[in-house]
Each structure stands twice: as structure tokens, then as C-alpha cells.
Structure 1
Amino acid sequence: MWAFLQHLSFWDWLALGTVLLILEVFGAGGYLLWIGMAAATVGVLTFVLPSMPWALQFLLFGLLSIATALYWWRRQRSAVRESDQPNLNLRGQELIGKTFVVHEAIVDGRGKIKVADGVWMARGPDAALGSRVRVVSQQGAILLVERAD
């Protein structure tokens, strides 16, 4: 083991980098990409400076791995942005505050309202067919409504 460590060549580091990059293909979220690049960098440095001691090679690999993983982590966190359309793909949320026509009378708190070219289940005070209601909230696929005066 000591003999192997004392005679690490640039091929060993390039092989480690290649293995890490292959493992990244299976979905490590980017972290193995940067650690593989750190191994490849140590391999290039070992090629340029073949007399570099193995302890320094491992130290460089560790420092580069930590630095690149932290870089990736910080970059991923800064990439999260607030949307200018927070209700996008939340169809019921965009309906809150709007007024619609009752499609099926609301009886005992349950009925249906016409929304564009579709029909939504609604809960709220009793309302006759054709009356107008305002959406106040959403619970899953059910819109909570109140009478629109």
C-alpha cells in the first residue's frame, strides 16, 4: 500500500477523475463532476511536476475537492430565484378574487362553477344556477366561493 502511495502517477489521478465523472452521469447532482475535475487537476499537476510527494498530492486533491464542492453548492443556492409569477401552474390560485357563473346549483354547500371552458367543483353558500360567485380560496381541486353582490 505504501509503495503504491509513494509512486502515484498522473495516470492514477486521471483514472480516478474519469471514474468520478462516470459516476456523475448516474445522477450525483454535480458534486462528483467537480471532485472529478479536482482529481484531473491533480493529475495534470503530477504530470507537470512528477516529483510531487504523494502527501502533497492528496492534500491538493482534498483542498480542490472542498473548494469546488463549496463553489458548486454556493452556485446552486444562488440560482434559486423568486418567481415573478408565483401562481404559475397553480390554476386554482390564479382564480382567487375572480367572479364566475354557477354552472350547477350550489346546494348544501356543494356545486359547480363555470371557469373559462371548464367546470370546477365549488363549496360555499347555496346559490342558484346562473348566479354569480366570487372565489375566495382553494382546497385541492375545490374552489371555496362566496356570493358576488
Structure 2
Amino acid sequence: MLDSLSLDEFGLWAWWIIAAVLGILELIVPGIFFIWLAAAAAVVALVAMAVDIPLTLQVALFAVLSVIAVWTSRRYFARHEVPSDHPLLNQRARTYVGRNYTLELAIRNGRGKIRIGDTLWLVEGPDLPAGATVHVTGVDDDVLKVEAVH
């Protein structure tokens, strides 16, 4: 029964239904992508209501509008970055800068390790014995830069 239904059978409501489904999908899936497809479907619905155009032209219009909407939004957001309320998210090592820790393994030849929580972190700095307190001054990839605390 459902397999015999086509887009034409829903008439003008088809594009509104597609726009609604894409809008709901935007709420469920992370990211900002489906909203632009939903907007394209809504524009096609408005055009189809105003002008009687064949289904193939409606689909082509939807495809073109979708590409334009996604491309335009990507360019806009690349130039107008939205400030984050968690700027260090996914940059865990940077959250340790400015803090003091105890060396777990002595720094020899410029490299040692500190324990933060249940993780050992590679550190670079002046040679120091295990147990010395160090101050994290920076990060290079996932290596913490440290200096001795006096």
C-alpha cells in the first residue's frame, strides 16, 4: 500500500512534510545542516503553491536551493565564527596550563611524566627529580611544557 504512494499523491503538502521532517531531523542530529534542506523544501513548497510546475522541476529546484543554502551558510559561518561557551572543549591538554602538578617520573633529557587524574602525561622541561612540583606553561600537541616551581 505505502510502496505505491508517490510524491505527486501528497500534492503541495509533500514539500511541507519534507520540510517538517528535515526540521525535526535537525533537532535530533547534531550540527547545522538539515535546517538548510528544510528551508529549501519550504521555498519549493511556496513556489509550487504560487506556480504550477512539474514534479521534476520541483525536485531540481530543491536540489539547487539545497546546494546554495548549504554553501552559503558554510561560507558565512566560516567568516563569522560563533564564540563558544566552552572554548577548550576537545583540547583537554590546554585546560592544564597554569596549574601545578607533581612529577610522577623524573624529567631526564628534557622529558618526564606527570599524573593528572588517572592519566600519565608526557612533559618537557628542565631535568627534575620525581616528586618535584612543576608548573604547566604551555602545550605542544599533547606534550605539556613545564617549569620547576620553587
Please say whether Structure 1 and Structure 2 have the same fold, judged by a TM-score greater than 0.5: yes
Maintained 8 Å contact 1:14/1:39:
no
Structure 2 CA distance, aligned partners of 1:136 and 1:43? 61
Q: List aligned pairs for 1:22-33, cutoff 5 A.
A: 29-30=33-34, 31-33=36-38
Q: Which amino acid aligns with 1:85?
A: H
* CA offsets 1:25-60 (integer angstroms, 9 cap, x no match): 8xx9343432222221122234xxx7xxxxxxx9xx
Q: What is the deviation of 1:98?
A: 0.6
| Gaps in structure 2 of 5+ consecutive residues | 1-7, 26-31, 53-57
Return the letter of the residue paired with 1:98. Answer: R
Where 2:48 maps in the other structure, the secondary structure is helix
How far apart in 1 are the matches of 2:118 and 2:44?
Answer: 58
> What is the number of equivalent residue pairs in this alignment?
122
Residues 90-149 of structure 1: CA deviation (Å, up to 9, x unaligned): 111110011111101100001111212321111110000111111111112211111111
**Structure 1 segments unaligned to the other structure (5+ residues):** 1-9, 51-57
Partner of 1:143, secondary structure, is strand
RMSD of aligned residue pairs (Cα, Å): 4.2
Map of 2:140 onto structure 1 = 139
Which structure: larger Rg? 1
Percent identity over the alignment is 27
TM-score relative to the length of structure 1: 0.59
The equivalent of 2:29 in structure 1 is none
SS in 2 for 1:92: helix
> Counterparts of 1:91 and 1:136 in 2: how far apart (Å)?
14
Partner of 2:125: 124
Task: Give TM-score, length-normalised by structure 2.
Answer: 0.59
